[in-house]
A and B are shown apart, each in its own frame.
Chain A
Amino acid sequence: MPVFAWHDRKKQHDFDTSQFLGSSSNTFVDWEVVTLFYSVLHYVDSYLSKAFKIDVVFDHSDRKQLVHFFLPILEKDYRLLYHLGTDARYEQVPMGQNELSKAKTVHAGIKNQLTPVTCINCGYTNLLNRGKCEKCGNIF
Chain B
Amino acid sequence: MSADEDRLRARLLEELLDELLRSRDIRKPRVFFVEGIPERKEERTFDVNEQVLRLSSELESLRSQFNRYMKIETREESASHFKQLVSKISEISEVYTQNTTDGIVFWIFYDKGDRIEVLEKIVDAECELERIFKGLNFEYKVLSQDSINPRIMSQVELLFKR
Contacts and interface: CB of A to CB of B under 8 A. Distances in A.
Contacts of A87: 142
A83 B115 contact: no
B124 interface: yes
Interface string B119-149: 1101110110010001101000111100101
Contact of A102 (B116, B122, B134, B137): B116
A113 B137 CA distance: 25
A76 B123 CA distance: 6
B152 interface: yes
Interface stretch (A24-32, A41-49, A88-96, A128-136): A88-96
B19 to A, nearest CB: 35
Interface stretch (A4-12, A13-21, A61-69, A119-127): A61-69
A79 interface: yes
A68 B130 contact: yes
Nearest to B102: A61
6 closest A-B pairs by beta carbon, nearest first, are A61-B137, A79-B123, A80-B123, A102-B116, A68-B130, A92-B149
8 contacts: A65-B137, A75-B127, A83-B122, A91-B141, A92-B152, A94-B147, A99-B116, A102-B116
Given A68-B134, A84-B116, A92-B152, 9 more contacts: A65-B134, A65-B137, A75-B127, A79-B123, A79-B127, A80-B119, A80-B123, A83-B119, A94-B147
